[in-house]
Amino acid sequence: MPLSASDAVALPKVLLHDHLDGGLRPNTVFELADAIGYALPADTPEALSDWFIAGSELADLPRTLEMFDHTTAVMQRADHLERVAAEAVADLSADGVVYAEVRFAPEQHQADGLALDEVVEAVTAGFRRGEAEAAASGSSICVNAILCAMRTADRSLEIAQLVDALREWDDKVVAFDLAGAETGFGPSLHAEALAFARRTHQNITIHASEEPAHELIAEAIEYGAHRIGHGVRLQADIDRSPDGSIDVAAGALGPLARHVHDHQIHLEMAPTCHVQVGAVASFDQHPMAAMLRAGFNVGVNTDNRLMSGVSASSELAALSAAFELTDAECRQLQVNAAMASFAPRDQRLALAASM
C-alpha cells in the first residue's frame, strides 16, 4: 500500500542532495528582496513560487540560471544567510528529515564583500540555530554543509582549500562538490582541485546529471567522487526488461553500471528534478525503483525544494505510489542514504539503526 502523505512525513528521512539557494521560503525571498531593494519577477510569494516551478519545467538552462540569480541575490549578507540556513533546518525538520547535507557555493555569496569563510560561518551558524530551535520543540535533526565549486568558474582549488581549512574548526563542513553547468565542464577541468581534495582526504561528491549520458558519471568516479550527484543517466548503461525491471544476473549492466553496482557507489537521485530537466520522460518511467530492487545504492532527494515544488516526504510518497514501494523499500532508501552520508561512522550506524 502506498505511503500516505502523513506516513511519509512520519518516516525518519535522510537527505543528501539539497541546495540551500534552491530551498528558500517564498515569503523569505520577498522579505529579503524588499530589505535590499531588489526587484523580483512576481508580485506575491505565491506567484513567485509558481514562477519558479514553471521555470523548472521548461528544461531551459538560461531560465534555470535566472531563477538562482533571484535567490542568491537575497543571500549576500551574513544575517540573511544565517536566516535562510536556519529556516532550511526548520522546514526539513517539520518534514521528518533527521539528517541532511545541504550544499551551497560560497563564491556565489560575495557580492556584498563577505569573505568565503564568513559566508560559510553564517550558514553553519544558521544550521546550528535551526537545530537548537528544533530540539527546543522536541525534534532532533542534524544538518551539515557541502561546499560547492562552480564548474564554469576557476575557483575550485580555492574552495577545496577552504573545505580543508574550515573542517579543522567547523565540523559542519563535511565535503567538496562540483556544481553548475556540466556539459562541456567536466571534472577534468578541475583536476588540480580534485587532486588536492583527494590528497587531503576530503569527502567528495560530484554532480553528474547532464549529457553526455553516463560519461560524466565515469569521469566523476575517475576523479575521486565517493558519491554521484543525481547519476540518473547511468540508465544508458543498463538494459531494462520490458516490465522495467533490471536483471543483473542476466547481464543487464554495462561496464560502468556494473562498477557502480559492485562498488555500491551511492547515487543521489532526485526524481522530480530529473523529469523537469528532461533526463527522464515522466515520473513513472524513472529508473530509481528498479535500480533499488536490483541492488543499486540509491537514495531519494529534493535537489531544489523551491524550484521543483517538492519536499523529501512528497518525493518519497510519489515514488511509493508510482512504483508500489513496500515499507521495507522506503526504509531501505533511508538506510542507503544514512550509510552513504559524510557523517562520522558511529553517527551513520546510529542513523541506519533508527530507520
Contact 196, 154 (CB under 8 A): no
pLDDT in tens, 46-79: 999 999 999 888 877 667 777 899 999 999 999 9
What pLDDT, on the 0 to 100 scale, is given for residue 61? 63
pTM over 0.95: yes
Counting residues of the chain whose pLDDT is more than 90, the rounded percentage is 91
Contact 168, 149 (CB under 8 A): no
Short-list 109, 120, 99, CA closest to 347: 99
What pLDDT, on the 0 to 100 scale, is given for residue 343? 98
Does the pLDDT of residue 145 top 70, yes or no?
yes
Would you list the DSSP string of 31-65? HHHHHHTPPPSSSSHHHHHHHHHHHHTTT-HHHHH
How many CB atoms lie under 10 A from the CB of residue 110? Answer: 13
* Contacts (Cβ under 8 Å, ≥6 apart) of 324: 2
The alpha-carbon radius of gyration of the chain (Å, integer) is 19
Mean pLDDT of 7-25: 97
What pLDDT, on the 0 to 100 scale, is given for residue 56? 87
Mean of the per-residue pLDDT values for the chain? 96
Structural domains present in the chain? 5-354 (3.20.20.140)
Angle between helices 45-56 and 61-73 (to 10 degrees): 150
- The helix/strand/coil state of 193 is helix
182 has catalytic annotation: no
pLDDT in tens, 169-210: 999 999 999 999 888 999 999 999 999 999 999 999 999 988
Q: Which residues are registered as beta bridge partners of 144? A: 101
Pick the catalytic residue from 82, 131, 182, 210: 210
Rounded distance, CA 334 to CA 328, Å? 10
pLDDT in tens, 262-285: 999 999 999 999 999 889 999 999
Q: Which has the higher per-residue pLDDT, 63 or 146?
A: 146
Angle at 102 between CA 286 and CA 220, to 5 degrees: 60
pLDDT in tens, 304-340: 999 999 999 999 999 999 999 999 999 999 999 999 9
What pLDDT, on the 0 to 100 scale, is given for residue 292? 98
Contact 307, 22 (CB under 8 A): yes
pLDDT in tens, 105-128: 999 999 999 999 999 999 999 999
